[in-house]
C-alpha cells in the first residue's frame, strides 16, 4: 500500500487536512496523525471493521484496549456513562485538564464495540488538544479510537518520520504536524469514589498530567503502592515490556553498578549531563545524549525522550545506558517508560519470552 503524507503546519489549511482525513476515516480506513502526546493511528471508534485495521497495522494483540478521542466535553456521553458518585470530580477534571493529556476510564456505553475496549466494561476516553487532531475530529464528527502509531511494543513515534519508519506501506495516510508538544502518552486514571472524602485516582499510566497537578482533586494511587487497585487488565501499556528499543537498554540508578565491558560500544542517555549526572565519568562513552542539555528541565526531556531513544536505537550500539530521571513531575512517566523499555529491549524473541 502506498502511504500518502500530507503536511499540516500552523500556516496551512487545517480544515482541508481535516476533511481529507475524515473522508478516509468515514470509508473505514486508518489515518496516522499528531497528538500533543505522541502520534496516533486513528479509526472510527464505532466501526469494528475500521478498528480491526488498527490492530492489524500495529500487530497489536486484541487484549490491549484503545483510547477513544472526542471533539468536545459533551461527546463523552456518546461513549461512556458517568456514575453519580464521581460525576462532580469528573466535571472538575474535564474543566481543568480537557482538552489535554488526561484519559479517564469510565463505564462504557453498549454502542462502543468490544474490540475497542478489549471486552472490558469500561472505556478509556480523552479530549485531545492538538490542533490537527481537533481538525480531524471536527470534520469526522464522531469519536476516534487511536493508539500510538507504532508497531506493537516498540518505541512510540513523536514525529511523522518515526511513524513512516513504523507503519509506512501499511497505512494509507500520515498527517505530518511536526513534533509533539508533550512527547509522552496521556496520563490514564480510574476514579474511585470514597464516602465522605476526596476520591482516589488510580494512576493506570503516568503521563504529562502529573500527580502534582491531580492532587488538588483526589488522592493519587500509583501501581505497586498502597491502595492501588489494578483493573486486572493485561494491557501492554501496563505490562512490563513496552516502548522497547531493539538495542539492549539498562537503567543504572547507581553509577558504581555500571562496569563497562572491554570492546563494547556504549551510549549514555542522561537528563542534563551536568553536575547531577554522575554517570558521565563512568565510561568512555561512544555517544552521550542529553534529554535537556544544561537546564535539566523535565518537560523538555519528555518532548525529546522517544526521539532520542529511537535515534540511539538506530546507531548500532551494544548497549544504551540510561540514567533514571528525578522522581517527580513528568519524570515519573519517563521512569515508567525507561523501566518498560529496559524490560523489553534487546530482541523480539526476548519480549515474547518475557510476556
Ligand atoms: P495507547 O492507545 O497505545 O496509548 O494505549 C492505550 C492504553 O490505554 C492501553 O494499553 C491500556 O493501558 C489503557 N486502557 C485503554 N482502555 C482501558 C480500560 N478500559 N481500562 C484500563 N486501561 C485502559
Ligand atoms: Mg502505545
CB 136 within 8 A of CB 42: yes
Within 13 Å, how many C-alpha atoms sit on residue 332's CB side? 19
Q: What is the mean pLDDT of residues 79-105?
A: 98
Q: What DSSP letter does each residue of 117-135 carry, written as one string?
A: HTT-SEEEEE----HHHHH
Position 352 confidence tier, pLDDT thresholds 50, 70, 90: very low
Q: How far is ligand 2, taken at its centre, from the CA of residue 243, in Å? A: 8
Q: For residue 193, how far is the Cα from the chain centroid?
A: 26
Which atom of ligand 1 is nearest to 205's Cα?
12
What is 249-344's CATH topology?
Answer: Rossmann fold (3.40.50)
CB under 8 Å to 299, separation ≥6 — which residues?
A: 182, 208, 329, 330
Distance CA 139, CA 240 (A): 37
| pTM for this predicted structure | 0.94
Are 34 and 175 within 8 A, CB to CB?
Answer: yes
pLDDT value for 148: 97
CB atoms within 10 A of CB 116: 25
Whole-angstrom Cα distance, residue 97 to residue 126? 10
pLDDT (average), residues 182-188: 97
**11 pLDDT exceeds 90?**
no
Mean pLDDT of the 76-102 span: 98
State mean pLDDT over 132-155. Answer: 97
Domain ranges of the chain: 4-176, 249-344
- The percent of residues in the chain predicted with pLDDT above 70, rounded, is 93
List the beta bridge partners of residue 251.
322
Span 97-123, pLDDT tens digits: 999 999 999 999 999 999 999 999 999
What are the tens digits of pLDDT across the range 260-283? 999 999 999 999 986 667 788 888
pLDDT digits (tens, 9 = 90+) for 309-348: 999 999 999 999 999 999 999 999 999 999 999 988 885 4
Q: Which residues are close to ligand 2, an ion, with C-beta < 5 A?
A: 148
Contact 280, 288 (CB under 8 A): yes
Asked if the domains 4-176 and 249-344 are classified in one and the same CATH topology, the answer is no
Q: Ligand 2 centre and the CA of 237: distance in Å?
A: 6
Which residues are registered as beta bridge partners of 125? 68, 104
The reported pLDDT for the residue numbered 232 is 60
**Ligand 1 proximity of 205 Cβ (cutoff 6 Å):** yes
Phi, psi for 33 (deg, rounded to 5): -150, 155
Q: 194: Cβ–Cβ under 8 A, 6 or more apart, which residues?
A: 200, 219
Looking at residue 209, its pLDDT comes to 98
Give yes or no for residue 40 CB within 6 A of ligand 1. no
Instruction: Check residue 273 and give its pLDDT.
Output: 80
Task: Enter the CATH code of domain 4-176.
Answer: 3.90.870.10
Ligand 2 center to 296 CA (angstroms): 26
Cα distance between residue 333 and residue 350, in whole Å: 24
Alpha helices per DSSP H over the chain: 14-26, 48-58, 76-79, 87-97, 114-117, 131-140, 160-167, 211-214, 298-313, 331-344, 348-354
> What integer pLDDT is reported at residue 34 of this predicted model?
98
Q: CA torsion 10→26→120→40, rounded to 10°? A: -30
| 135 or 256: which leads in pLDDT | 135
CA distance 307 to 291: 10
**90: pLDDT strictly greater than 70:** yes
pLDDT of residue 295: 85
Residue at grid coordinates 508538544:
181
- Give the pairing of strands 122-126 and 102-107: antiparallel
Tens-digit pLDDT profile for residues 192-245: 999 999 999 999 999 999 999 999 999 999 887 777 777 665 444 566 667 889
Query: How many angstroms is it from 71 CA to the middle of ligand 2?
Result: 21
The CA distance from 273 to 295, in Å, is 9
User: How far is Cα 248 from Cα 250, in angstroms, rounded to an integer?
Assistant: 7
In the block, cell 466501526 appears at 47
Going by their DSSP bridges, the two strands 266-270 and 319-322 should be labelled as parallel
Q: Residues for the chain: how many in total?
A: 355
Ligand nearest to the CA of 101: 1
Q: Rounded CA gap, 43 and 66, in Å?
A: 11
pLDDT at 283: 87
Amino acid at each position: 500500500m502506498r502511504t500518502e503524507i500530507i503536511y499540516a503546519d500552523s500556516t496551512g489549511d487545517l480544515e482541508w487536512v481535516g476533511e481529507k482525513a475524515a473522508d478516509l476515516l468515514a470509508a473505514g480506513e486508518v489515518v496516522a496523525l499528531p497528538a500533543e502526546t505522541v502520534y496516533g493511528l486513528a479509526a472510527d471508534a464505532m466501526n469494528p471493521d475500521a478498528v480491526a485495521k488498527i490492530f492489524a497495522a500495529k500487530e497489536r494483540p486484541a487484549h490491549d484496549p484503545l483510547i477513544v478521542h472526542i471533539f468536545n466535553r459533551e461527546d463523552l456521553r456518546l461513549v461512556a456513562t458517568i456514575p453519580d458518585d464521581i460525576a462532580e470530580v469528573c466535571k472538575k477534571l474535564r474543566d481543568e485538564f480537557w482538552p489535554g493529556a488526561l484519559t479517564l476510564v469510565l463505564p462504557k456505553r453498549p454502542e462502543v464495540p468490544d474490540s475497542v475496549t478489549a471486552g472490558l466494561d469500561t472505556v478509556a476516553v480523552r479530549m485531545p488538544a492538538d490542533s490537527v487532531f481537533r481538525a480531524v475530529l471536527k470534520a469526522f464528527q464522531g469519536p476516534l479510537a487511536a493508539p500510538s502509531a507504532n508497531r506493537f511494543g516498540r518505541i512510540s513515534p513523536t514525529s511523522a518520520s518515526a511513524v513512516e519508519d513504523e507503519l509506512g506501506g501499511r497505512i494509507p495516510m500520515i498527517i505530518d504536524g511536526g513534533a509533539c508538544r508533550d512527547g509522552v502518552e496521556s496520563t490514564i486514571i480510574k476514579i474511585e469514589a470514597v464516602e465522605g472524602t476526596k476520591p482516589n485516582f488510580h494512576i493506570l499510566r503516568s503521563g504529562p498530567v502529573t500527580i502534582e497537578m491531580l492532587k488538588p482533586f483526589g488522592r493519587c494511587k500509583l501501581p505497586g503502592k498502597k491502595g492501588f487497585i489494578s483493573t486486572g487488565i493485561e494491557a501492554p501499556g501496563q505490562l512490563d515490556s513496552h516502548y522497547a528499543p531493539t538495542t539492549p537498554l539498562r537503567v543504572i540508578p547507581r553509577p558504581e553498578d555500571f562496569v563497562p565491558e572491554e570492546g563494547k560500544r556504549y551510549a549514555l542517555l542522561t537528563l542534563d549531563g551536568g553536575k547531577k549526572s554522575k554517570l558521565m565519568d563512568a565510561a568512555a562513552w561512544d555517544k552521550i545524549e542529553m534529554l535537556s542539555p544544561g537546564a535539566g528541565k523535565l518537560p523538555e526531556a519528555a518532548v525529546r525522550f522517544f526521539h532520542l531513544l529511537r535515534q540511539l536505537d538506530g546507531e548500532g550500539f551494544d548497549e544504551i545506558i540510561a540514567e533514571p530521571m528525578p522522581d517527580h513531575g513528568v519524570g515519573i512517566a519517563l521512569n515508567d517508560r525507561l523501566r518498560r523499555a529496559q524490560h523489553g529491549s534487546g530482541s523480539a524473541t526476548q519480549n515474547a519470552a518475557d510476556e
